[in-house]
Amino acid sequence: MSSTAAKETVSCTVDGIAFEVPKGTRMIDAAARTGVDIPHYCYHPGLSAPAQCRMCLVEVEGAPKLQPACTAEVQDGNVILTASENALKAREGVLEFLLVNHPLDCPVCDQSGECKLQDYTAAEGRPMGRLAEPKRIIGVDDFGGDVLFHGDRCVMCTRCVRFMREVAQDERLAVVQRGDKAVIDTFFGEGLEGNIWADNVVDICPVGALVSKDFLHKARAWDLDRTPSICPNCTQGCNITLQVRDNQVMRLKPRPNAEVNGHWMCDFGRLNYQWVNRTGRIEAPLVREDGKLVPMSWSDTLLRLANAARGQSTGVRSVVSPYAANEDLGAVRRLADALGGGSGVFRVESGEEVVLPGFPQLALRSDRAANVRGAELLGFSRAGDSTGMGGLEEAESFDGVILVLGDDLEDASADFGQRSKLFIYVGHVLGGAARNADFVLPSTTFAEMEGSFTNVAGRVQRFWPAIQVPGMSRPAWQILGVLLSGIIDIPAPARPGDAFATLGDLSPAFGGMRFEELGAEGQPLEYSRR
Amino acid sequence: MARRRKDKEMAANVRLMKRPEREASYLRATLKGVALTFRHMVNPHKVTMQYPEEKWALSPRWRGTHVMEQHEDGRPKCVACGLCPAICPANCIRLVPGEDDQGNRYPVVYEIDEFRCIFCGMCQEVCPVEAIHVGQHYENSEYTRDNFVYDLDRLMSQKQPSTLLWDPSDPASE
Ligand code: SF4
Ligand code: SF4
Ligand code: SF4
Ligand code: SF4
Ligand code: FES
């Protein structure tokens, strides 16, 4: 839609509902505004529309033939009938043809339950097939990377081919052969291997022809609980849904956000979720007593910790994780300020930046953690090398208060924190140098809490809790907020929005933003100063 | 006997029947019963079932504990489609799908808690590959509740015939 035409509007009627749409709107999008979902296969809002599947045929009063709603633009005065007798008959015919060679593998097909062929056949297809001839059999092909191809299930919509051509701009798939022998195939042996955007073809394939090897047979679509979230694996902050079964994250799927990731996400982020499911988490607060770490209730732990911390004025050295939420990082900052101030560092793994050519706002960013920007804005500085190691020297030998949030301290020396007056460890797992801590406070990951990340472009985006917290773990903003209220007499934040509201005092970039107004798609930092 | 008592001893409003001696006697009824007993001695008519040596024949539509059908090579017929756990109203089927060495989808874990099962037969009805069936069987006793959670091996080793949910010659029950 060109921006000059966007101002003009045309009026139309879809299934009896009259309304106006901008000139140049496709019928399928106009219908969507009245809540009518016109069946379609080849059309995808992120790709070109070849109008080749003929699944979206609708009747337009006065037009001699049925129109493909995916390319036909609404003309002034159009009366569109999406479910007239002719339209339904045409679509039933399309479905019957698609099922001619379809294996009806649904019981073993990974797409079952979220398959457009199932949905449309159940809604509009013939109750029984009429085909007596044997079906053509193609079989399974490994397309490389995470992608597996079941040729028999393909409906030849060519979305996958167009994605690789138009968006990934790395033509690796093509339609070969013609007629009923037509099949999607890769060029030579390399397949999709090595293209980090390849798994998006699994998302856009409307049927079970392209499936993910990682997710193969793992869960049914109807077993999954879906929670909106943000990909934690690079500073781009792709909008995603966390799909969970039995309290385990099973897969990540991109969630459309035109400002951040369009409809896409990269394979690096998509397949890097196992750490969220890791077991062996710290389940209770631990306090050092006679040289040993002893589990204790939250109230006892925080009372003791507040007593130990009150009056400390030698300053704080903190090591934070760039996977932590804005709210968590803000709480660390405030606590450090209350205990005499001091510097803080974060360590982040980095690698090559990979841009998605057809949607260049989106790239796998070189910093491989979601909240690097938030950490920088809240006054933490980068330390260590590109593997996320090193940079602990200053904290290691510090003799005041050491506060670690979320960093596993894998490479820290065995006597990390031994010289400190007070070593507080807030994190997920107890290993290595974390065992030297005087207080170990179990905190939640992004998947277990509500909070926000700030992405590389300065967009603040919310995520929601998808899985249950292990044991007594709590979000770090809550733990540290209660602790702070015990040290200096201020109210503790009750909700993540309260913790977020205090960020404006720490960094003017957050000033005036309200957590509740971030919505599901986030807001840029500048928004408050519009 | 009641009618010899003084009326004033009775609670208010109790009406006493005045019946002739001949009708009030137990003798007739007793003789009738004894006659029946003698008739059965001469012409025995047995109703007691010598359970467990003998058992009732069950209706082909009787729904009891489950049977998992298997292929000739002993693999379960279940393809782990996930429909029976989804439809089960008692939520008593646990399924973890996976891939076997021939690349087929199969149930890594398939368990039915027969204690929670309400024997509705919907799992049998929904199964696209006719793998899980309720069976013609009624003897369920175990020493522990845990034993009522039947795993795949147990479901495959059940010997009872599968239930016919409908008459094949009259599927719509007309
Ligand atoms: S692609 Fe859809 S219709 Fe075909 S087997 Fe898979 S779930 Fe069934
Ligand atoms: S593999 Fe899927 S996306 Fe590609 S043409 Fe076939 S149905 Fe469409
Ligand atoms: S018979 Fe009914 S209650 Fe029992 S396992 Fe099957 S579906 Fe569930
Ligand atoms: S419905 Fe049948 S094939 Fe599907 S999981 Fe249950 S037993 Fe297995
Ligand atoms: S969606 Fe319109 S022709 Fe395919």
pLDDT tens profile A133-157: 999 999 999 999 999 999 999 999 9
Q: What is the pLDDT of residue B46?
A: 78
Percent above pLDDT 70 for chain A? 98
Tell me, yes or no, whether B32 lies in a domain: no
Ligand nearest the Cα of residue A43 is 5
* Partner B contacted by A139 (CB < 8 A): no
Percent above pLDDT 90 for chain A? 91
Check residue A257 and report its DSSP letter.
B
Minimum CA distance residue for ligand 3 atom 2: B120
Q: What is the pLDDT of residue A1?
A: 44
Distance CA A282, CA A264 (A): 34
**For chain B, what is the domain count?**
1
Which residue does chain A place closest to B128, by CA atoms? A107
Class of residue B25 by CB neighbours under 10 A (exposed 0-12, middle 13-18, buried 19+): exposed
Rounded to whole angstroms, what are the CA distances from B68 to B60, B133, B157?
17, 6, 8
Of B56 and A348, more confident: A348
Tell me, yes or no, whether B18 lies in a domain: no
Residues B98, A217: C-beta atoms closer than 8 Å: yes
Directed axis angle between helix A298-309 and helix A476-487, to 10°?
50
Q: Which helix (H) or strand (E) holds A80?
A: strand A78-81
Tell me, yes or no, whether B7 lies in a domain: no
ipTM over 0.90: no
Q: Ligand 1 within 6 A of A104 CB?
A: yes
Does A527 have pLDDT greater than 80?
no
Secondary structure of A463-516 in HEC code, one letter for each residue: ECCCCCCCCCCECHHHHHHHHHHHHCCCCCCCCHHHHHHCHHHHCHHHCCCCHH
Q: How far is B165 from chain A (nearest CA, A)?
A: 21
The C-alpha angle with vertex A207 and arms to A204 and A213, in degrees rounded to 5, equals: 75
Q: How far is B126 from chain A (nearest CA, A)?
A: 11
Tokens 């006892």 locate to A300
Rounded to whole angstroms, what are the CA distances from A530 to A268, A504, A514?
35, 16, 14
Distance CA A55, CA A28 (A): 11
* Partner B contacted by A107 (CB < 8 A): yes
Q: What is the pLDDT of residue B11?
A: 62
Q: What confidence category does residue A433 fall into, taking pLDDT thresholds of 50, 70 and 90?
A: very high
Tell me, yes or no, whether B84 lies in a domain: yes
Distance CA A416, CA A436 (A): 7
Tell me, yes or no, whether B146 lies in a domain: yes
Spatial CA neighbour of B149 closest among B65, B87, B84:
B65
To test the contact with chain B by mutation, choose from A149, A214, A220, A224 the residue with the greatest count of B C-beta atoms within 10 A, namely A220
pLDDT tens profile A78-116: 999 999 999 999 999 999 999 999 999 999 999 999 999
Ligand 5 atom with least separation from CA of A157: 4
pLDDT tens profile A457-508: 999 999 999 999 999 999 999 999 999 999 998 999 999 999 999 999 999 9
Tell me, yes or no, whether B33 lies in a domain: no
Residues of B in contact with A112 (CB under 8 A): 81-82
Give chain A's mean pLDDT: 94
Q: Ligand 1 within 6 A of A162 CB?
A: no
Quote the domain boundaries for residue B114. Answer: 66-157
φ and ψ at residue B83, rounded to 5 degrees: -75, -40
Best residue among B113, B122, B124, B136 to mutate for probing ligand 3, ranked by most atoms within 8 Å of CB = B122
Spatial CA neighbour of A70 closest among A102, A94, A44:
A44
**Mean pLDDT on B38-50:** 85
Q: Strand ranges (DSSP E) for A255-377?
A: 286-289, 292-295, 316-320, 344-347, 354-355, 363-364
Q: What is the CATH number of the domain that holds B122?
A: 3.30.70.3270
Asked whether A366 and A350 are in contact (CB, 8 A), the reply is: yes
Q: Ligand 3 within 6 A of B123 CB?
A: yes
Does B40 have pLDDT greater than 50?
yes
Q: How far is A107 from chain B (nearest CA, A)?
A: 5
Ligand 5 atom with least separation from CA of A52: 3
Does A394 have pLDDT greater than 60?
yes
Q: What is the pLDDT of residue B10?
A: 55
pTM metric for this prediction:
0.88
Residues B105, A108: C-beta atoms closer than 8 Å: yes
Nearest to B105 among A217, A219, A222 (CB): A217
Ligand nearest the Cα of residue A200 is 2
Burial B54-92 (b: 16+ CB within 10 A, else e): eeeebeeebbbbbbbbbeeeeebbbbbbbbbbbebeeeb
Tell me, yes or no, whether B137 lies in a domain: yes
Check residue A87 and report its DSSP letter.
H
Tell me, yes or no, whether B43 lies in a domain: no
Q: What confidence category does residue B1 fall into, taking pLDDT thresholds of 50, 70 and 90?
A: very low
Q: What is the pLDDT of residue A5?
A: 47
Nearest to B99 among A107, A217, A223 (CB): A217
- Listing from the earlier edge strand, what are the strands of the sheet with A459-463? A451-454, A459-463, A523-524
Distance CA A245, CA A218 (A): 9
